[in-house]
Amino acid sequence: MPADQPVALILLNMGGPDSLAAVEPFLFNLFADRELIQLPAGGLLQKPFARLISHFRAKKVVENYRQIGGRSPLLEWTNKQAVGIAERLGERFRPYVIMRYWQPRAEQVLADIKAAGIQTAVVVSLYPHYTGATTGSSVNDFKKAAAAVHPELEYRLIEEWYDWPGYLDALANRVNEGLDAFHDLLRDEVQILFSAHALPQKFIDRGDPYQQHVEATVEQVMERVGYYDWSIAYQSRSGPVKWMEPGTEETIAQLAAAGHRALLMVPVSFVSDHIETLQEIDIEYRELAVRQGIVNFQRAPSLNDHADFLDAMAALVREHLRR
């Protein structure tokens, strides 16, 4: 990349509704993605299916968003991450964010980049662990839009970084911050539960490395943290398909049944707060844990815009630019 030319730093993420009214159209965009949900009948029924299921799911999901303030904070956090990483890379890097299922979408952002006269970009998936359902879909969406809107753009892709040392260090720091929330007399008893977003088992069976990546991340984080007992589970499972196991709800119940009373949950496949940390973990899983007898429940802070995480991502970009 020419040293005197501006570079777009583009972060790819899932997106989330920015109001309660946006929940149903957001869900439609999600369920209409054939890289995420593949109906046996092919693409013909995808949009009718997406309209139907988003309509019926919206009522419950609206209430979940209402519990966390009526909108997703994902865009706010992703913008902060983009700005923070770009600042660390130098003034020629210009921050941009593309969301897969809500605004700002790829076509809009690429048009802005083209209008700004920017001809080179670094594109970073904010999913550390690769699966075609998340990183694959977001990258394909970006490539399609780039070819249509800004075909002159030269870009480099960073699609997975589950074992990047700076990321592991930052996540280990969040785990230690979560442990610090327990009384000193309880710390030796704390069970650490890493919770990642579940995928339908068929994604793993077809060869997606997602589960291997999650397990490698957790093992290397715990090498940094130390001697605590830990386990991995998968959250956000819904619908009549076979999902990755074990489920987070079942694992919480099993830990409680085994007599454990202190639990630290660590969101591992998410790099910022959103509905699955703020509502699913902080409200639903906390209530479940208390009902099961776990009286000391904490969640490790999300990476969000912590300086060590932004330092790590800037270093990751520099490393890829050197190759």
155 and 56 in a common domain: no
Catalytic site residue from 9, 11, 14, 255: 14
Residue 40 has a pLDDT of 66
Whether the per-residue pLDDT at 45 is higher than 90: the answer is no
Is there a single domain that holds both residue 270 and residue 287? yes
**Full residue range of the structural domain in which residue 82 is found:** 7-15+72-160
Question: What is the pLDDT confidence band of residue 44, given thresholds at 50, 70 and 90?
Answer: confident
- How many Å apart are CA 216 and CA 163, to the nearest integer? 7
- Active site residue: 9, 11, 12, 30, which one? 30
Annotation marks residue 30 as catalytic = yes
Q: Which member of 71, 100, 274, 299 is catalytic?
A: 100
Mean pLDDT of 311-321: 97
Residues 6 or more apart whose Cβ sits within 8 Å of residue 242: 200, 201, 202
Write the pLDDT tens digit of every residue in 50-85. 899 999 999 999 999 999 999 999 999 999 999 999
**Lowest-confidence range among 30-39, 196-205, 302-311?**
30-39
**Same-domain status, 251 and 177:** yes
Boundary residue ending a domain (116, 131, 160): 160
Q: What is the Cα gyration radius of the chain?
A: 20
- DSSP code of 302? P
Among this protein's residues, is 276 annotated catalytic?
A: yes
What pLDDT score was predicted for residue 2? 64
Residue 48 inside a domain? The answer is: yes
Query: Are 265 and 191 spatial neighbours (Cβ–Cβ below 8 Å)?
Result: no
Residue among 18, 33, 208, 276 flagged as catalytic: 276
63 a catalytic residue: no
Q: Do the domain assignments include residue 305?
A: no
What mean pLDDT is predicted for residues 227-243? 90
Q: Of 174, 197, 237, 286, which is the active-site residue?
A: 197
User: Exactly one of 18, 33, 208, 273 is catalytic; which is it?
Assistant: 273
Annotation says 20 is catalytic: no
pLDDT in tens, 128-167: 999 999 999 999 999 999 999 999 999 999 999 999 999 9
Q: How confident is the model at residue 6 (pLDDT cuts 50, 70, 90)?
A: very high
> Based on the domain organization, do 32 and 92 belong to the same domain?
no
- Do residue 89 and residue 184 come from a single domain? no
Say if CB 315 and CB 157 are below 8 A apart. Answer: no
Asked whether residue 311 is assigned to any structural domain, the reply reads no
Q: How does the average pLDDT of the chain come out, rounded?
A: 95
Strand partners, 235: 197
How many domains would you assign to the chain? Answer: 3
Catalytic pick from 18, 27, 71, 101? Answer: 101
DSSP assignment of 71-127 equals S--HHHHHHHHHHHHHHHH-TTEEEEEEESSSSSPHHHHHHHHHHTT--EEEEEES-
* Band of pLDDT at residue 111, cut at 50, 70 and 90: very high
Query: Would you call 11 a catalytic residue per the annotation?
Result: no
Q: Active-site residue 197, yes or no?
A: yes
Q: Is 36 a catalytic residue?
A: yes
User: Residue 264 — pLDDT band, cuts 50, 70, 90?
Assistant: very high
How far apart are the C-alpha atoms of 263 and 231, rounded to whole Å? 11
**Can 263 be counted among the known catalytic residues?**
no
